[in-house]
């Protein structure tokens, strides 16, 4: 089934899309799992955006890459049928994933971004004057190329001299980098497709090894409405490696169920819920922060009761 129909793009859960496609092709086979609680799945629900114009649609070596101009959300990047960012609401995700670990750290100098091909995380990290070097490892060069062309406000810093850009697999990259970074940010797609290896315990062991003493990580960690079992599992195994592990969340309009989670872990015992450096309202404006502020930093870690209970024992309330 074409997800671009009658002027609308529809984001189905990958498992639902497979069933719909099988039905359309006369193949009655259903998926083994119904996908509930599987990371990257949201069975039985779908989100649609009205399309003004398809700007780019090709298959890269790794995934289907689509960019369209939407009627009300600006340009939209879609990978393997899943919305990655829209110009209208990208600030929420980019600013929270980047600034929660960056402001929890008193003096981040060396930063690693795994994924992040649209450039939004890079843009936010470089707002911190303490940063000397940013290393970025993105697996799919086509994502960077289309972002430079169609998402220029996100991809604005690819020419920054502080950036070392590597095209390759983040998991493999980490094996060769030990004790190097103050902050590591994993800005991945969902754990179906090229990012699957970035949701396992061995990946977090590599992250721990790559961080210097005092280092902090953040990772895209799915939706509390949809993937609570996966989130609890991630918190649990991360706690076996890191002395500090916390889960934060924010609203995020165009992600499934409208919310996004952030896993924050530190190599030392540390209160990551309180920023080590705070910004005044004037500084927030000067930095061009549309979503993050110092009060929101702490508030993002306060979780609804059902999430607290699911993570109980894995995170202090």
* Minimal distance, residue 27 CB to its own copies, in Å: 17
* Minimal distance, residue 150 CB to its own copies, in Å: 18
- The nearer residue to its own copies, 57 or 71, going by C-beta atoms, is 71
- The nearer residue to its own copies, 83 or 136, going by C-beta atoms, is 83
Q: Please state whether beta strands 110-115 and 133-138 pair in parallel, antiparallel, or not at all (unpaired).
A: parallel
* Minimal distance, residue 249 CB to its own copies, in Å: 7
DSSP 248-277: EEEE-TTSGGGEEEEEEEESS---TTS-SS
- Other Cβ atoms closer than 10 A to 292: 26
Buried b (16+ CB within 10 A) or exposed e, 221-243: bbbbbbbbebbbbbbeebbebbe
- Other Cβ atoms closer than 10 A to 105: 22
* Minimal distance, residue 221 CB to its own copies, in Å: 15
Catalytic residues, by residue number, are: 187
164 close to 91: Cβ distance less than 8 angstroms: no
- Tell me the chain's radius of gyration from C-alpha atoms: 19
- The nearer residue to its own copies, 123 or 267, going by C-beta atoms, is 123
Residues that bind its own copies (CB under 8 A): 8, 10, 16, 36, 43-50, 70-73, 89, 91-92, 224-225, 249-255, 257-259, 281, 284, 289-293, 295-296, 298-299, 302-306, 308, 317
93 close to 252: Cβ distance less than 8 angstroms: yes
- The nearer residue to its own copies, 90 or 182, going by C-beta atoms, is 90
């Amino acid at each position: 089934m074409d997800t671009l129909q009658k002027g609308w793009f529809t984001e189905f859960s990958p498992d639902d899309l497979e069933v719909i496609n099988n039905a359309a092709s006369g193949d009655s086979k259903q998926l083994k799992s119904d996908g509930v609680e599987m990371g990257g799945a949201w069975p039985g629900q779908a989100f649609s955006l009205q399309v003004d114009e398809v700007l780019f649609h090709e298959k890269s070596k790794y995934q289907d890459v689509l960019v369209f101009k939407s009627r009300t959300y600006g340009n939209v990047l879609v990978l393997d049928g899943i919305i990655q960012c829209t110009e209208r609401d990208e600030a929420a995700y980019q600013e929270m994933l980047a600034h929660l670990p960056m402001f929890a750290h008193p003096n981040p100098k060396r930063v690693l971004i795994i994924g992040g091909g649209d450039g939004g995380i890079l843009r936010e990290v470089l707002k911190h004057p303490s940063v000397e070097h940013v290393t970025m490892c993105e697996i799919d060069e086509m994502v960077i190329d289309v972002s430079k062309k169609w998402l220029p406000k996100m991809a604005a810093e690819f020419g920054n001299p502080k950036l070392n850009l590597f095209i390759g697999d983040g998991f493999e990259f980490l094996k060769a980098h030990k004790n190097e970074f103050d902050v590591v940010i994993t800005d991945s797609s969902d754990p179906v497709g090229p990012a699957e290896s970035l949701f396992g315990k061995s990946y977090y062991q590599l992250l721990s090894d790559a961080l210097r003493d005092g280092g902090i990580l953040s990772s895209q960690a799915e939706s509390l409405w949809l993937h609570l079992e996966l989130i609890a599992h991630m918190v649990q195994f991360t706690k076996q490696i890191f002395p500090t592990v916390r889960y934060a969340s924010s609203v995020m309009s165009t992600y499934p169920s409208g919310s996004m989670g952030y896993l924050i872990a530190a190599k030392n015992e540390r209160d990551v819920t309180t920023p080590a450096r705070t910004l005044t309202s004037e500084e927030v404006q000067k930095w061009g922060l549309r979503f993050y502020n110092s009060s929101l930093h702490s508030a993002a870690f306060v979780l609804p009761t059902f999430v607290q209970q699911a993570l109980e024992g894995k995170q202090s309330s």
